[in-house]
Structure 1
Amino acid sequence: MYVAVKGGERAIDNAHAWLAEERRGDASVPELSVAQIREQMTLAVNRVMAEGSLYDPDLAALAIKQARGDLIEAVFLIRAYRTTLPRFGASRPMDTGTMACDRRVSATFKDAPGGQVLGPTFDYTHRLLDFKLAADGEVSPAPEVADAKPSKDTPHIMEFLDREGLMQRDTDSKTPPRDLTREPLELPATRDLRLQALTRGDEGFVLGMAYSTQRGYARNHAFVAELRIGKVAVEMDIPELGFAIEIGEVELTECETVNQFAGSKTEPPQFTRGYGLVFGMSERKAISMALVDRALRWEELGEDNLGAPAQDAEFVLYHADNIQATGFLEHIKLPHYVDFQSELELIRKLRREATAAAQDVAREAAE
């Protein structure tokens, strides 16, 4: 018979103390500071901010330290903390056309209006381990370039396709967007809710869904019309002043993909777009988000549903959230003694009945 492990609160306290000791590691090795994590593990910090729905690099770095590098646990910590914060207003929609771009590339136009800016990227690295880093070697500073400053007010490339009437125009909804951080997801979900769910979704899951669309599970070949990374001002209307003021700025990654569209009874052949917007420098996530966004638009565009996973809004949106997934998955390691006992008794009963039936058959055969 299975019995509950004894110890209770004392055992839990000791487990927490042991966890803290494991987190610290060898005390002879200098401890990582929050500032070091924030400045040198920027991409991890950006991911935690995006999936935690809270733009605060210091808190994200602290969560990573506390979680021992487990980014999903860090996201959980950030979301839990976020629920304690008061909300005193809402900012204006951000104009990414005014982004001060550190990086801005296009895979569709070589001579993109406003120019291409490679910026800091892994794209052209050789993926060889740099053992100078293991020796704590100093990194040589980037060369000074006269025009290396972030470019401002860079027009979106999609605007130039819009002028020729080649892009399907997205209609502006008259209904204010709902807030997924305050209301549960309900289906059918409008595009604004789908985009919120994708930007908060687990990067690995969204990447897998996006990859599936490229392998034919949605028949959705996309080109990256534009990928841009930079800082955008956050403005807020102040009723007492009667105008908006800038209260800060955030770093964003924005991706717009362009996809073919054969047209419909009411629409001529044209291009359609997929869209991704993520906190921080998160290229992989933004591109993945844009691909999945476009795949989920099949119904509104009058396309056929090919039965692809990325076209199933319920499958994608309900399984993208890593905190929901983690909670449901990890709860099975907690005590389920009563449940298991009922299963155990059921199996024993079925085996007894099967054995008795077999014995009856054997007796009848012997007679």
Structure 2
Amino acid sequence: MYVAVKGGEKAIDAAHAWLAEERRGDVTVPELSVAQIREQMALAVNRVMAEGSLYDPDLAALAIKQARGDLIEAIFLIRAYRTTLPRFGYSNPVDTEKMACDRRISATFKDAPGGQVLGPTFDYTHRLLDFKLAADGEVPEAPTRETQTGPVPHITDFLNQEGLIQTEPTSDEAPRDLTREPLELPADRALRLQSLTRGDEGFILGMAYSTQRGYARNHAFVGELRIGTCAVEMDIPELGFAVEIGEIELTECETVNQFAGSKTEPPQFTRGYGLVFGQTERKAISMALVDRALRWQEMGEDNLGAAAQDAEFVLYHADNIQATGFLEHIKLPHYVDFQSELELVRKMRADAQAQTMPEAAE
């Protein structure tokens, strides 16, 4: 056994060395720096920060480099590092109404108060390969940014002036922290939103798409999508007031959904909500759709049996790190387990043959 273990260690060390060599690639090609990844692969960096639950563009870029571009592996690295950090307090809830918006659009109101700001988006590109990028040409200078500063009211609030959209309940109770406590069901909305924020973008997108195809009563409009920076404040007991400790980039989405009413509520619109680190609008929209689908019970709606309405199914399968760990563990040695399965199948075959032999003799 000792020889086998030592041999295994040597093989693992060799695998790590080979991995490092593959990560570097052709040494005649300049190596990617962390700063280059942070600045030029920002959307990948944003996803790693969001699903890794740690806002640090430099560390996310480092994780992407270390993982050779495998974003789930990078998310795993960030989460593992996050567990080593001390927790010395909690920040106050960010006020997204004070967001300095680089992008703010609405699919429900053409003349949105404050105007629509397209910002940096792929929405209007032709999806044709730009071979100028392969030539490493100069980047064209962008026009002056239209960042909106000062209070920017949420567009859905204007529906509320007529009482046409459901008022969201508020609570002073601090929500449970999913990064420090395991997920338990039933989960309230705050916990569900945390889980969806950390969830795999592809999984949440698939769940959201299913709701649009009829697997939940969820006909939604994007009431508002905004991307920008928000101040993060923290109460300092020694000072007796809150101080700003930094800024973070966020994507926020509010969907507007039709609601036929219930025994206690009149017909009105309801909301779905998504809030994610960085420019991550596909994830934020998907999150809002799934959030609304999961609210069927509090809305007094029927459960149509759709996967997106099943909180246990969605929340327990959204986490890509848990899914990856469970999936990939089957490639590790299972020699003993397989030998027992092998012996069982041999015995079953022998029993089956023994039962058919008398019939063959007749």
What TM-score do the two structures reach when normalised by structure 2? 0.97
Distance, in Å, in 2 between the alignment partners of 1:173 and 1:291 is 23
Residues in 1 aligned to 2:179 and 2:144: alpha-carbon distance in whole angstroms: 43
Q: Residue 152 of structure 1: SS of its match in structure 2?
A: coil
**Deviation per residue, 1:230-259 (Å, 9 max, x gap):** 000000000000000100000000000000
Q: Secondary structure at the match of 2:133?
A: helix
Q: Is the 8 A contact 1:34 1:65 kept in 2?
A: yes
TM superposition shift of 1:174: 4.4
Give the match for residue 58 of structure 1: 58
SS of equivalent residue, structure 2 residue 300:
coil
Which residue in the other structure is 1:126 paired with? 126
Q: Which runs of 4+ in 1 moved over 3 A?
A: none
Q: How does 1:291-330 map to 2 (within 5 A)?
A: 291-330=289-328
1:282 equivalenced with 2:280 (yes/no) = yes
1:128-152 residue CA offsets vs partner (Å, 9 max, x unmatched): 100011111111111237xx24333
What aligned pairs does 1:192-231 form with structure 2 within 5 A after superposition? 192-231=190-229
CA contact (8 A) 1:227 1:256 kept: yes
What displacement does 1:6 show? 7.4
SS in 1 for 2:225: strand
**Cα distance 1:93–1:144, how it changes in 2: closer, same or farther (>3 A)?**
closer
Q: How does 1:193-272 map to 2 (within 5 A)?
A: 193-272=191-270
Task: Tell me whether 1:31 sits opposite 2:31 in the alignment.
Answer: yes
CA distance in 2, matches of 1:6, 1:90: 46
8 A contact 1:101–1:152 mirrored in 2:
no
- What is the aligned partner in structure 2 of residue 359 from structure 1? 357
The CA distance in 1 between the partners of 2:65 and 2:89, in whole Å, is: 30
Asked whether the 8 Å contact 1:276–1:290 carries over to 2, the reply is yes
* RMSD value, Cα: 1.1
1:92 has 2:98 as partner: no
2: CA distance, partners of 1:11 / 1:117: 55
Match of 1:184 in 2: 182
Deviations 1:81-103 (A, max 9, x none): 00000011101110000000000
Q: Over residues 143-197 of structure 1, what are the superposed CA-to-partner deviations in whole Å (9 max), with x where a residue is unaligned?
A: 237xx24333111011111121111111113432000000000111100000000
Counterpart amino acid of residue 139 in structure 1: V
Secondary structure of 1:199's aligned partner = helix
Residue of structure 2 equivalent to 1:169: 167
Q: Contact 1:102–1:151 (CA<8 Å) still a contact in 2? A: no
CA distance in 1, matches of 2:83, 2:348: 48
Kindly indicate whether the alpha-carbon contact (under 8 Å) linking 1:199 and 1:278 is maintained by their aligned counterparts in 2.
yes
Distance 1:5 1:202 in 2: 36
C-alpha separation in 2, matches of 1:235 and 1:143: 32
What amino acid is the match of 1:281? Q
Q: Which runs of 5+ in 1 are unaligned?
A: none
Aligned to 1:73: 73
Aligned partner of 2:127: which letter?
R
Q: How many residue pairs are counted as aligned between the two chains?
A: 359
Preserved CA contact (<8 Å) 1:218 1:311: yes
Q: By how many angstroms is 1:9 displaced? A: 1.1
**1:219: Cα distance to partner?**
2.1
Contact 1:254 1:277 survives alignment (8 Å): yes
Q: Per the alignment, in what secondary structure is the counterpart of residue 132 of structure 1?
A: coil
3-state SS of the aligned residue for 1:131?
coil
Percentage identity across paired residues of the two chains: 83
Contact 1:226 1:256 in 2 (8 A): yes
